[in-house]
A and B are shown apart, each in its own frame.
Chain A
Amino acid sequence: MGAPAFVVTTDPLELEPLIDAVARRLEGAPASAGAVTSFLGTVRNENRGRRVERLEYEAYEPLAVKSFERIAAEAAERWPDTHVAVHHRTGALAIGEASVAIAAASPHRADAFAACRYAIERIKQIAPIWKHEFFEGGDVWIEGATADPDDEEARTRALQAACA
Chain B
Amino acid sequence: MSGHHRNGELQARVNVLLALAEERGIVDREEIDRRIETLGRSVSPVNGARMVVRAWGDPAYRERLLDDAGAAAGELGFAGGGYSSEIRLHAVANTPEVHNVVVCTLCSCYPLAWLGPPPAWYKSEAYRSRVVRDPRGVLAEFGTTLPDDVEVRVWDASAEARYLVVPMAPDGVDTLSEEDQLARVTRDCLIGVAVP
Query: Do A and B come together as binding partners?
Result: no
Q: Which residues of A contact B (CB under 8 A)?
A: none
